[in-house]
Amino acid sequence: MLIYCYGASNTYGCDPRSYIGNRYPEGQLWTGILSRRFGHEFRNAGMNGRKIPLRSIEHPAIPPETDLFVVMLGTNEMLHGMRAEEAALRLENFLRELDFPKEKILIIAPPILQKGEWVTQLGMAAQSARLGEEFARIAEALGTRFADGTQWDIPVTFDGVHFTAEGHAAFAEALGKFFTNGNFNCII
């Protein structure tokens, strides 16, 4: 089974302690941890700084053998002062235009931003906390799957945004519970 994981720096595995954009080792990334745990390929298609695509030219080239398209975006929109409703509208438009079966899409609301070097305004964290309810509404409207990362306590680094190595393990554990609750069975 191929699970194609499309996201920003927390999918990519950015280690902000590095000045040149290094990432944690594959075995420490949530995608790598889940690949080992379930024996399926969780392909990491994360990219630092990625925002929700606005135009079809920005849409990912999802491999045709993909069994599940996982999308976790919205954090960068929050960092640039966008409201949760605006990010949700962008995500909805992106997924409506995406040429992929909606029942094979999993939307993950990213974990809540925390106070840190990049998150100095309380409004950023408050808006990121609202992504769960906004993205759940989109998932219901489009008929996609949904996992609410705003409910997961994920350790982040000094910047308030990026997962620590322990954060990747905690994220993998929480998402693993989502999959063990029968969510793989519906895909195969």
pTM comes to 0.94
Backbone angles phi, psi at 83, to 5 degrees: -80, 155
Please name each of the domains of the chain with its CATH number: 2-183 (3.40.50.1110)
Rounded distance between C-alpha atoms, residue 112 and residue 168, angstroms: 14
CB 29, CB 166: distance < 8 Å: no
The pLDDT value given to residue 184: 56
pLDDT tens track for 122-156? 789 999 999 999 999 999 999 999 999 999 999 99
Per-residue pLDDT band for 183 (boundaries 50, 70, 90) equals: low
Rounded distance between C-alpha atoms, residue 1 and residue 67, angstroms: 6
The pLDDT value given to residue 180: 85
pLDDT tens track for 74-121? 999 999 999 999 999 999 999 999 999 999 999 999 999 999 888 888
